[in-house]
Amino acid sequence: MTEPGVLIERDGDVATVTIDRPDRANALDSQAASGIAGAIEAASGARAIILTGSGRAFCAGGDLDEIERWSVMKPEDVGAELYGSFQSMIRAVRASEAVVVAAINGAAVGAGMDLALACDLRVAARSAKLGQVWVGLGLIPGTGGAYLTLALAGPTRAAELLLTGEILSADDALECGLVNEIVPDEELMDRARALVARVLRHPRDGVIANKRAIVAASRDAVEAALAHAAAIQPLRFTSDEFRRAVAAAKRRRSARPS
């Protein structure tokens, strides 16, 4: 089964959802973000979902061409698209009765980092890099990352990450409490499955009840962060500051050797 930009595989009680835009380092457009939400919902009968990326990256955030398109739209239209696509994948992860484990290979930045942090558990490959890079484009976290980073890393470190756009190594992410463990790249999926097995040995309804309790404890804060982003981010996307930042980013991309 597939969704746009996403692959879904099922092995018994475990589904694997793979973001499949390797030529874009799995950067997301609205269709792919909606596809992730659809894939999570389609795998609702599974007890666990492993979420990973195809190729060299987990998810490099929003696709640059997509977010540049938003810069010439009306803010209210940007807000509707942000809510209906990018934010829907965060809500789908949290609403799923399955335990969602992020298997983070390579870059997980911007919306990609938010998506990883929204998962219930996170295993990082040694190559993983995590970053709240929004500030470099004049943006705020659009997918709940302000709260999710604060909840996991604490207010002092979260402020540093959001305000500087620092890129974290796997070791730094573990030290911050953003991931559960680091593993060699070649062992990533095996270790993610091993973590899933530790969960699935417990009674199904008990696991579901515990996930619901965790989600309920943070529901108001996450929804507040998403609502704030839906109100403010469209104004940032349509600002001159953002347009200049995107133009500079595209120039840097064009200058890279092919």
Residue 245 CB neighbour total at 10 angstroms: 17
Torsion sign over Cα 168, 150, 125, 184: positive
pLDDT recorded at residue 82: 87
Mean of pLDDT values over 142-154: 97
pLDDT recorded at residue 258: 58
| CA 176/CA 239 separation, integer angstroms | 32
Q: Is the pLDDT of residue 129 over 80?
A: yes
Angle between helices 87-95 and 30-42 (to 10 degrees): 10
Report the amino acid identity of residue 180.
Answer: N
| pTM to 2 decimal places | 0.95
- Per the prediction, the chain carries an average pLDDT of 95
- SS3 letters for 137-163? HCCCCCCCHHHHHHHHHCHHHHHHHHH
Mean of pLDDT values over 191-205: 98
CB 177 within 8 A of CB 151: no
Mean of pLDDT values over 7-21: 97
Strands 2-3, 6-11: pairing is antiparallel
pLDDT recorded at residue 83: 86
CB 164 within 8 A of CB 140: no
Domain architecture of the chain: domains with CATH: 2-185+204-255 (3.90.226.10)
Cα Rg for the chain, rounded, in angstroms?
Answer: 17
Mean of pLDDT values over 201-223: 98
Residue 75 CB neighbour total at 10 angstroms: 17
pLDDT recorded at residue 251: 84
Q: Is the pLDDT of residue 78 over 70?
A: yes
Q: Is the pLDDT of residue 3 over 70?
A: yes
Residue keyed to tokens 């200049």: 244
Bigger pLDDT: 190 vs 253 = 190
pLDDT recorded at residue 1: 58
Tokens of 122: 């996170």
Question: pLDDT band for position 66 (50/70/90)?
Answer: confident
Tell which residue, 29, 30, 6, has the closest CA to residue 16: 6
Tell which residue, 121, 119, 120, 143, has the closest CA to residue 132: 143
Q: Is the pLDDT of residue 44 over 90?
A: no
Strands 48-53, 14-19: pairing is parallel
| CA 243/CA 215 separation, integer angstroms | 36
Question: pLDDT band for position 71 (50/70/90)?
Answer: confident
Bigger pLDDT: 50 vs 1 = 50
pLDDT recorded at residue 26: 98
| CA 116/CA 50 separation, integer angstroms | 11
Q: Is the pLDDT of residue 54 over 80?
A: yes
Torsion sign over Cα 33, 39, 168, 178: positive
| CA 188/CA 67 separation, integer angstroms | 31
| CA 99/CA 80 separation, integer angstroms | 28
